[in-house]
Structure formats: C-alpha cells, structure tokens
Structure 1
Amino acid sequence: TFIFTCGGNITGESGVIGSQGYPGVYPPNTKCVWRITVPEGRVVVLSFRFIDLESDNLCRYDYVDVYSGHVSGQRLGRFCGTFKPGALVSTGNKMLLQMVSDANTAGSGFLAVFSAAHPHERGDQYCGGRLDKPSGTFKTPNWPEKDYPAGVTCSWHIVAPKNQIIEVKFEKFDVERDNYCRYDHVSIFNGAEINDAKRIGKYCGDSPPAPVFSEGNQLLIQFLSDLSLTADGFIGHYKFRPKKFPTTTVPPTTTTQPVTTRPIPLKYSVALCQQKCKRRGTLEGNYCSSNFVITGTVITAVMRGGSMYATVSIINVYKEGSLAIQQAGKTMSTKIIILCKKCPFVKRGLNYIFMGQVDEDGRGKIAPHHFVMAFKTKNQKGLNVLKNKQC
C-alpha cells in the first residue's frame, strides 16, 4: 500500500501520485506540489484514475493544477469535482502537479498514474502541441479515418510574432452535442493558458463555429472528450494576420449558447428587489404552483449584477418540471438564480428546500416571494406526503 504525502519529487519511467492521505479526506488549507521527471527525450503522460474535490464550476476552492515543465510551464488544466479529464501530456520530460485546498474540504482527493512516452506518437491519445508557423492545421486524433477516442485532452498553443493576431477557421466539425457543451467540447482562450476569464468560446455539436480572431499574439485551443460517446471530430486551420484590422469586422459569436449567464433585465429586478423579503403562503400551497420542488445543498454561490447564481447538489427531487439536472456519477446538481441576491438569502454549505419557476435555459429562478426554507431531515416526511398528492 502507498502512503500519500503532501507533494514530493518523483523520478522514473512510471509512478502513482495521490493527494495527502488518499483515500481518506484530504486536509484543509494546504498547498502540495509534486514534480515528476521522466528520462531525457521522453514526455510525461498523466491519467487521473479517481478525482473527488469540492465542486465549483470555476474550481475556485479546492483544485489540482497540472503544468508542463517544472518552472513557468504551460498550464494543461485545472480540475475539481468528480470530472476525470483525459490523458494529459507534457511537452518535455517534466510535469508539475499542485493541489490547493481551502478551509472547507469535501471529498477524498485524487489518484493519478504517470508514465514516460515517446513524444508525438501518433497513437490514440496524443495530440496538441505548439504551433508557431505562419499557417497550419490541427485536428482530432484519428481524423479523418475514424471517430476521436474517449478520454482525451488536446491543447494546441498557437504563437504568432508580437505584432500579429491569429485567425482560426474550422473546416469540418462534429463533436458530441449538449446544450451547455458539458461533455465533449472545444474551448478557445486568448493567451497561453486555460483561464475561464479569457475564454472566447466553448463549442460542440455539428455546425462549425464562426471564424475566431485572437486579441493578442497567442491562442490556446483545448479539445476534451469524456469517457462516453464520441463523434467524427474536426479539422481546423489557422493563419497569422497583421494586427491592423479594418474596423468593420465583428468579433465572432459562439455557435452554442455562451456559458456565461444572461443577466436579468434591470428594470424588472429593481422593482422586484424593492419588495418586502418574505416567503408567502405555506409549503403545501406553494407546492402545486411551483414549477420545481427540490431539497439540496448550496455548493457554490456567486454574485453577478444584483442576482446570486448558485449550484445546488440535490438531496431529493420532489417535482422536476423543466429544471435541467446534471449528473456526474451518483451526484446530481442543478443551477439556480436567486433574482435578488439577499432575498431569500442562502449560504454555501447549507441545506434548503427550493420551490420556484424555471427559465428557458432550464435554470431555477427564485423571486423574493417564492418558497425557500432551511431543510432539516424532519421536513422530509411532509414533502413525501406532498409528492404523493395530486395537484
């Protein structure tokens, strides 16, 4: 059996890395760094066998970062929750992992294996790399003979001279479809690393995205496939262009709905948020008039504009309505927007009963008069009775 400690230097052809104390719960308030070195002339291939860290859509609380190289290398990705990325490949013979946890921890951390490989094998799992010629092509593994494999991460880092920008066009495009591109997807970022604040777009489905133009001289294109359905994949081309642009061009829009949430129109929310904050009526009375009724734990809560955007890990669904529910392993979660951020006020880590309406994107919308209350196990009986009553 392995005893996993906080960080370390690991050399060799292959090995196993686990979070501190794995498979026990990892400790709070720590930062652990592992440096992997494989023989000269080889690259490091890392695969997560298991991952379970506090979940957050931007991985702000607990996360594992993976970098190519030991110092100032390119970040290959940041991971949290229970999503297992595909194989991650360094450009040289070194890779660095860093795991950070905050005061609240949740989960048993991660277990990953690494091995040394010959660079740029045209095997299933290898793709990505640095592109710095004036024009070029990038494509999914196996293109065009067969579908891309499951469980792959490819990152193409395109670098133009300082005074130039990059144009990217997809010639053919077919990636597993999902309304939010949660499963297989292509993300394009301004700059050299995977950073959600600099994401230009996230794409999936079978229609090619509109041409994309970088702001500066670097772009990062990341393709990720999960461990299930696959599709034909894509072939894309890039070329460098001078920075001076005719002013008529418009930046491209994404082909899928952009992942950022649409703000609630202001006029509406100001009037709404001036109402007195109190839930009206009874549990029973609200049950039938609500589009959805769930109990759950608030795992993230982010203020945007005057509203609060929460992710809720579901304990029980009593009435689903048109609520979009995501599932990862055994865990189900959903997105809820509290239109007035202080009303009703919810806190991360606590359990609530939520009743409300659903917007056209399948997210729950909670107004000040909707029924929300702290959930205790003793409320469960009453809810089960309501669930069996016909409205």
Structure 2
Amino acid sequence: MWRVCSLFCAWGVLFLKDVCAQSQRRQTFTCGGNITGDSGVIGSPGYPGVYPPNSKCVWRITVPEGKVVVLSFRFIDLESDNLCRYDYVDVYSGHVSGQRLGRFCGTFRPGALISTGNKMLVQMVSDANTAGSGFLAVYSTAQPHERGDQYCGGRLDKPSGSFKTPNWPEKDYPAGVTCSWHIVAPRNQIVEVKFEKFDVERDNYCRYDYVSIFNGAEINDAKRIGKYCGDTPPAPVFSEGNQLVIQFLSDLSLTADGFIGHYKFRPKKLLTTTLAPTTTTAAVTTRPALKYSVALCQRKCKRNGTVESNFCSSDFVITGTVITAVVRGGSMFATISIINVYKEGSLAIQQAGKTMSTKIIILCKKCPFIKRGLNYVFMGSADEEGRGKIAPHHFVMAFKAKNQKGLNVLKTKRC
C-alpha cells in the first residue's frame, strides 16, 4: 500500500511540474506594439482567454527592406456579425494610409494576407458586449516576386494587365487562400474588368470560395459591386471612380480551376456615354427591365393587393431587418439581415455562420419608404447579379410576428 501511495505521489509531483512548465512556456500577448524581424507571433490580449471589452490594439509589423509580410491566422474567434461592425480585426498593407487587405470577425479563418511592401498593420477593436477567445496569427517574410501556392494579389497601376488565381492554368487553385488586387487608374479614368475564364466552387450563396469586387481602395461591404462564384464568367465590371479592389477567397475544402481576368483603364466619360449608371438601371431576368425615372417615382405611392395576391408574381419573398440604407441618386441601397426566406428566386443571399443577408435596391427612395432597424416583408424581383429590386408596384409592408403563419402557408404554395 505504501508503494502505491508513493507511486501516486511521485506521479502527482511530475504532473504538477509539467503543468507549471507549460504555463511558463505559454506566451502572453499584449495589446499591440511595434514588431520587427523575419517572423513572429501576435495574438489578442489574454489569448486563449476572453479578450477585454472596449479595447483597440494596433500591431505594426516591419520586416527587412526588399521583402513583403505574409500574415496567416491560426485561430480566430470574435463576436460574429455579417458586417463585422462590433468586434473585428483589420489588416492593412503599410503603416500609414495603406490599403486595407480585409476585415475579419466570427470564426472564419481567412487565407494568407500579403502586404505590398515591408510593412503591415493589424488592428483589433472590441465593443462593450459579446466577446470570444480572440485571435492568434503568425507572420513571415517572402520575396515580392514569389507567387507560389500561398502568394497572390498586389497593386496594379499599369494601363492594362491581367490577374489570376495561384497555379493558373496548370492546376486548381489551393485551399485557404486570400488574394486582393488593388487596381489604381489616373484620377480622370475608370477601370474596366473582364474575366476570360472563370471556375470557382459553386454555391447558391457563394459562401465558400468567391470573388468580390469593390469600388474604391478597400474591402468595404457598402461599396461591393458584386460577389461571384460558379463557372459562368461575370459580366464586365466598371468602377465608379479610379480604383477597384478585387478579392478572391478560398476556404479549406473544395477547389476548382480558378480564373484569369483582364483590366484596362478607360476614359471617365465612358460612364455617361456608353453605360447606364448602376444607380439608375435595374435589369431583371423574369420581366422587362425596370428603370429609375422621375416619372416612375412621381407616381402616387400606394401599396396594392395583399401578401397572398403578390406572392406568385414576385421573384423573391423574404422577411428581414434593414441594417444599412444609403441613398444614391434617386434610389436607396439597403442591406437586409434575413429573418426568413419564403421564396428565393434568383436573389443572391450571403451567409456568415447562422446569419443570412442580402442587398436590395429601392428604385424610388421614398416608395416604398423603409427605415433602418425595422423589420419588413419584401417582395420583389432580382437582376442578373442577384440583387433585389423593389419598384413602387412591388409589395413591401412592416413585418410582425402574426404574419409568420400566413407566410409559412404560402411557402408551400404552387405558382
């Protein structure tokens, strides 16, 4: 019996020594700092414990001249929100006024992020509410010309050029990659982008692998022109100003052939002479094109019919909360956090975790009139890119819990 007790005591001492050694080896992370060297690790304060509320941490990474920074997230767990408005990590190329390579929240781990020079800035912001375990990321260096399985993207400022997924055309693009191309034209010109070949993992909502194109110099959901996947090349895209950002992201599962695209600078007057402005035209696939016009928006704003009578004639039927509502020209551009989908049609729906959202355009900003933060039933049409279009004759009304039962019945209706 004494021998057994001695063995247990000896084992207990060894176990405690091992625990102490592990706790001594565990790295502690501070809120930001200036970091130099060829490689290193950064993490949220307290990782892997819960990060503190109401914090703003900035890490400035500098590697030797002539090299670029490669940042890879090993773990991320921040408050989830489809627009990353509350807790988030921003990554910038450079330390001052650099291009934002991405904003991240939730638990999705992006692929490698590459700076255009030898500096990168990482900023984490948290609000007063929900928190998580934070993030852990490692950085390393690469030569600017390296474009292997992990490296892609960069600044494009020549009058014309091409961009493509890693490994194109020899084999499929790799999993777990993020590429961002920042195209910059002279101030008096715009950017035209065309895809020659396109094959990105197909999903109805482009949730896994996708290409997003943004107006301006950063990845900003409010400035997104479109989100694309599948094997059909997107229609040509034109910037509103002199800059575009093209982001390609692949998750850690299925991959595909990838794509090659081309860009060129065009005269700014092209927008007014050969193209219909994106804020004034709404092309749909199921009926003649809907166009914004003064005459259309001068009609008396009156809701016609009922949910039942408009169900079959509508391309999509959803209930949702208005998250953002921005007026451009005579139209209102809104982001909707979806409560329920009763008829999807060709509406493009994005998903982040359990949260689904979509974008709609109210062609006449005051008809029907919607307010940010309120819930509505939306019934309308969708264009070729899956954006929802709501004209004065479409049906929109405030959504209340009592409407749920009737909508569930209509969901099984054959039209």
Name the TM-score class by shorter chain: 0.5 to 0.7
Q: Is residue 309 of structure 1 aligned with residue 328 of structure 2?
A: no
Unaligned stretches of 5+ in structure 2?
1-25, 283-290
Matches for 1:149-160 after TM superposition, within 5 Å: 149-155=174-180
Amino acid at match of 1:312: I
Q: What is the alpha-carbon distance in structure 2 between the residues aligned to residue 351 and residue 163 of structure 1? A: 41
Q: Say which SS state the counterpart of residue 395 (structure 2) adopts.
A: coil
* Superposed CA offset, 1:222-276 (max 9, x none): 45132243324337698xx9xxx9x9x958999xx9986736421443233x335
Q: Is residue 370 of structure 1 aligned with residue 395 of structure 2?
A: yes
Q: Say which SS state the counterpart of residue 150 (structure 1) adopts.
A: coil
Of residues 82, 87, 90, the one that matches 1:55 is 82
Instruction: For residue 154 of structure 1, report the CA deviation from its aligned partner.
Output: 3.5
Of residues 145, 150, 168, the one that matches 1:143 is 168
Instruction: For residue 328 of structure 1, report the CA deviation from its aligned partner.
Output: 3.7
Q: What is the alpha-carbon distance in structure 1 between the residues aligned to residue 412 and residue 195 of structure 2? A: 53
For these two proteins, the number of residue pairs brought into alignment is 371
Change (3 A) 1:33 1:323: same
Of residues 337, 347, 357, the one that matches 2:371 is 347
Matches for 1:77-88 after TM superposition, within 5 Å: 77-78=102-103, 85-88=110-113
Q: What is the alpha-carbon distance in structure 1 between the residues aligned to residue 105 and residue 328 of structure 2? A: 22
Q: What is the alpha-carbon distance in structure 2 between the residues aligned to residue 289 and residue 133 of structure 1? A: 48
Q: Say which SS state the counterpart of residue 47 (structure 1) adopts.
A: strand
Structure-1 residue corresponding to 2:59: 34
Q: Is residue 70 of structure 1 aligned with residue 95 of structure 2?
A: yes
Change (3 A) 1:36 1:176: same
In the alignment, is the contact (CA less than 8 A) between 1:85 and 1:224 conserved in 2?
A: no
Structure-1 residue corresponding to 2:250: 226
Q: What is the alpha-carbon distance in structure 1 between the residues aligned to residue 187 and residue 309 of structure 2? A: 64
TM-score, length of structure 1 as denominator length: 0.66
In the alignment, is the contact (CA less than 8 A) between 2:160 and 2:262 conserved in 1?
A: no
Q: What is the alpha-carbon distance in structure 2 between the residues aligned to residue 290 and residue 40 of structure 1? A: 58
In the alignment, is the contact (CA less than 8 A) between 2:212 and 2:225 conserved in 1?
A: no
Q: Say which SS state the counterpart of residue 35 (structure 1) adopts.
A: strand
Amino acid at match of 1:275: C
Change (3 A) 1:348 1:186: closer
In the alignment, is the contact (CA less than 8 A) between 2:195 and 2:236 conserved in 1?
A: no
Q: Is residue 14 of structure 1 aligned with residue 40 of structure 2?
A: yes
In the alignment, is the contact (CA less than 8 A) between 2:88 and 2:126 conserved in 1?
A: yes
Q: What is the alpha-carbon distance in structure 1 between the residues aligned to residue 159 and residue 295 of structure 2? A: 50
Change (3 A) 1:351 1:43: same
Of residues 316, 321, 326, the one that matches 1:297 is 321
Q: Is residue 95 of structure 1 aligned with residue 92 of structure 2?
A: no
In the alignment, is the contact (CA less than 8 A) between 2:199 and 2:259 conserved in 1?
A: yes
Amino acid at match of 1:357: G
Instruction: For residue 311 of structure 1, report the CA deviation from its aligned partner.
Output: 2.0
In the alignment, is the contact (CA less than 8 A) between 1:297 and 1:350 conserved in 2?
A: yes
The Cα RMSD (Å) is 5.5
Matches for 1:162-181 after TM superposition, within 5 Å: 173-176=197-200
Of residues 357, 380, 384, the one that matches 1:357 is 380
Q: Is residue 123 of structure 1 aligned with residue 148 of structure 2?
A: yes
TM-score, length of structure 2 as denominator length: 0.63
Higher helix share: 2
Q: What is the alpha-carbon distance in structure 2 between the residues aligned to residue 301 and residue 197 of structure 1? A: 10
Change (3 A) 1:381 1:127: closer
* Superposed CA offset, 1:7-61 (max 9, x none): 4445663324348999869857x654232345777643223444655434xx788
Matches for 1:123-272 after TM superposition, within 5 Å: 123-129=148-154, 139-155=164-180, 173-176=197-200, 183-185=209-211, 187=213, 222-227=246-251, 228-234=254-260, 262=281, 264-272=291-299
Change (3 A) 1:343 1:83: farther
Give percent identity, aligned residues only.
58
Change (3 A) 1:301 1:289: same
Q: What is the alpha-carbon distance in structure 2 between the residues aligned to residue 253 and residue 155 of structure 1? A: 30
Unaligned stretches of 5+ in structure 1?
none
Change (3 A) 1:302 1:25: farther
Rg: which structure is higher?
A: 2
In the alignment, is the contact (CA less than 8 A) between 1:43 and 1:92 conserved in 2?
A: yes
In the alignment, is the contact (CA less than 8 A) between 2:307 and 2:395 conserved in 1?
A: no
Change (3 A) 1:176 1:348: same
Instruction: For residue 333 of structure 1, report the CA deviation from its aligned partner.
Output: 2.3
Instruction: For residue 67 of structure 1, report the CA deviation from its aligned partner.
Output: 1.7
Structure-2 residue corresponding to 1:111: 135
Q: What is the alpha-carbon distance in structure 2 between the residues aligned to residue 209 and residue 288 of structure 1? A: 29
Change (3 A) 1:62 1:143: same
Q: Say which SS state the counterpart of residue 383 (structure 1) adopts.
A: helix
Amino acid at match of 2:340: N
- Range moving further from structure 2, 304-313 or 163-172: 163-172
Change (3 A) 1:365 1:106: farther
Q: What is the alpha-carbon distance in structure 1 between the residues aligned to residue 43 and residue 414 of structure 2? A: 53
* Superposed CA offset, 1:198-244 (max 9, x none): 9999988666987999998xx77645132243324337698xx9xxx
In the alignment, is the contact (CA less than 8 A) between 2:316 and 2:381 conserved in 1?
A: yes
Change (3 A) 1:37 1:375: farther
